[in-house]
Amino acid sequence: MQDAEIDTPADEVRSRAPEGMAGLAKGLAIIELFGSTSSRLSVASAAEGIGVARATARRCLLTLVDLGYVEYDGRYYRPTPRMLRLGSAYLDTSSLPGLADQHLVDARDELDESVSLAVWEQGWSIFVARSEAQRIVKTGVRVGARLPAHCSATGRVLLAALGDDEVREQLAGADRERRTPHTVTDPDALLEVVRHVREEGFAISDEELELGMRAIAVPVTDGARRTVAAMSVSASAARVSAERMRREFVPVLRREAGRLGRKL
Question: Could you give the CA distance from residue 164 to residue 212 in angstroms, rounded to a whole number?
Answer: 31
In order of 80, 144, 181, 248, the CA distances from 215 in angstroms are 30, 17, 16, 13
List pLDDT tens digits, range 188-205.
999 999 999 999 999 999
Topology given in CATH for the domain delimited by 3-83: Arc Repressor Mutant, subunit A (1.10.10)
Sign of the torsion formed by the C-alpha atoms of 60, 62, 68 and 74: positive
The highest-confidence range among 56-70, 80-94, 127-141, 148-162, by mean pLDDT, is 148-162
Q: Among residues 244, 155, 231, 226, which one has the least CA distance to residue 193? A: 155
> Is-same-fold flag (3-83; 94-261)?
no
| Range in 19-33, 114-128, 141-155 the model is least confident about | 19-33
Give the count of alpha carbons within 13 A of 240, CB side only. Answer: 23
Question: Could you give the CA distance from residue 240 to residue 264 in angstroms, rounded to a whole number?
Answer: 32
DSSP assignment of 19-39: T--HHHHHHHHHHHHHHHTBS
pLDDT score for 137: 52
List pLDDT tens digits, range 128-152.
999 988 765 555 577 888 899 999 9
Give the count of alpha carbons within 13 A of 50, CB side only. Answer: 32
The verdict on domain 94-261 having CATH code 3.40.50.2000 is no
Question: Could you give the CA distance from residue 242 to residue 54 in angstroms, rounded to a whole number?
Answer: 46
Q: What is the CA radius of gyration of the chain?
A: 20
User: What are the extents of the domains in the chain?
Assistant: 3-83, 94-261
